[in-house]
């Protein structure tokens, strides 16, 4: 994103919050509560929208800042709200939220969350966590939840979900290890075949597909959008060490053609 794109989104929340804070001090108002509507994106990040995630991370930090001054504050990290607001007018956005990771809330639960936010400031239920409320996460996390790779959320995986998540991670690692070994040779056909399998698995996770993609089928037919492409681009860079662009992914005519480009890059690096 451009510098302007970043600040257009960040500035409204940052400046607005500081304005309310400063006015309350100037008016010598001992506020009973200072609740801020933040977003879960400030905790887990939001691919392709770092500006929005940063703005909400600021609200979470500002709640801590006010409490250290002896003032009331609480930041509410909302997930998806189904019945009211932006998502209710754009139902297709709910398809983005993986049920293994996210749990949308309704309007009634939203009102209860607001009540708890106020209670945490008037008579804290738990002083150690009184500055922040996090909502919208599935508990327990599903076995293939993308958050299981982050140690901060390990406490939300328990029972079968936790064990299955570990097993799934190990299986994925084995296949990447196989690919790594193949890269040391010159059998491009085997390397491409292994890459297609590994990348196909990641597509299934990212796009929540119940079955593997057909390698020769256009990627667009699987509902690939720009946000999913960003996530896949980052995964390919981190896990396979290949620098591909979002356009490389969205413009690929098939999984095979994309993997051919990936193989060309990682094989060149492996040889160096």
- Tell me, what's the pLDDT at 236? 87
CATH of region 183-271: 1.10.1200.10
Tokens at 228, concatenated: 């999913």
The contacts of residue 193 (CB under 8 Å, 6+ apart) are none
Residue for token pair 């940052």:
14
Rounded CA separation 200/158 (Å): 27
DSSP characters for 76-142? EEE--BSSSSHHHH-GGGGGGS-TTTB--B-HHHHHHHHHHHHHHHHS-S-GGGTTEEE--B-SSPP
Rounded CA separation 261/248 (Å): 8
Every domain range in the chain assigned CATH 3.40.50.720:
3-138
Q: What number of CA atoms fall less than 13 Å from residue 125's CA on the CB side?
A: 11
Rounded CA separation 266/268 (Å): 5
- Tell me, what's the pLDDT at 165? 44
pTM of the model: 0.63
Every domain range in the chain assigned CATH 1.10.1200.10:
183-271
What b/e readout covers 233-267, taking b as 16+ CB neighbours within 10 angstroms? bebbeeebebebebebbbebebbbbbbebbbebbb
Q: Which CATH class is domain 3-138?
A: alpha beta
**H or E stretch covering 36:** strand 35-39
pLDDT digits (tens, 9 = 90+) for 23-57: 999 988 789 999 999 998 888 887 778 899 999 99
- With 0-12 / 13-18 / 19 or more C-beta atoms within 10 angstroms meaning exposed / middle / buried, residue 15 is exposed
Nearest to 222 by CA among 95, 102, 103: 95
Segments of the chain scoring below 50 in pLDDT: 161-173, 269-272
């Amino acid at each position: 994103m451009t510098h302007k794109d970043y600040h257009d989104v960040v500035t409204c929340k940052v400046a607005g919050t500081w304005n309310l804070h400063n006015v309350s001090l100037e008016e010598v108002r001992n506020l009973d509560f200072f609740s801020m509507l933040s977003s879960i994106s400030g905790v887990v990040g939001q691919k392709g929208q770092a500006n929005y995630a940063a703005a909400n991370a600021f609200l979470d930090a500002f709640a801590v800042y006010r409490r250290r001054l002896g003032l009331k504050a609480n930041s509410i990290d909302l997930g998806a709200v189904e019945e009211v607001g932006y998502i209710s007018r754009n139902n297709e956005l709910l398809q983005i939220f993986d049920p293994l990771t996210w749990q949308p809330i309704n309007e009634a639960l939203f009102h209860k969350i607001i009540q708890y936010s106020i209670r945490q400031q008037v008579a804290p239920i738990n002083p150690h966590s009184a500055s922040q409320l996090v909502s919208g996460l599935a508990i327990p996390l599903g076995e293939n939840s993308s958050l299981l790779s982050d140690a901060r959320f390990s406490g939300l995986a328990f029972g079968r979900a936790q064990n299955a998540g570990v097993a799934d991670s190990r299986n994925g690692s084995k296949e990447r290890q196989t690919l790594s070994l193949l890269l040391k040779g010159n059998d491009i056909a085997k390397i491409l075949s292994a890459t297609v399998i590994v990348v196909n698995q990641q597509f299934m996770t990212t796009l929540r597909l119940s079955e593997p993609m057909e390698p020769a089928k256009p990627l667009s037919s699987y509902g690939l959008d720009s946000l999913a492409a960003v996530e896949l681009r980052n995964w390919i860079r981190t896990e396979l060490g290949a620098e591909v662009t979002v356009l490389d992914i969205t413009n690929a005519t098939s999984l095979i053609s994309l993997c051919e480009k990936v193989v060309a890059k990682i094989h060149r690096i492996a040889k160096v």
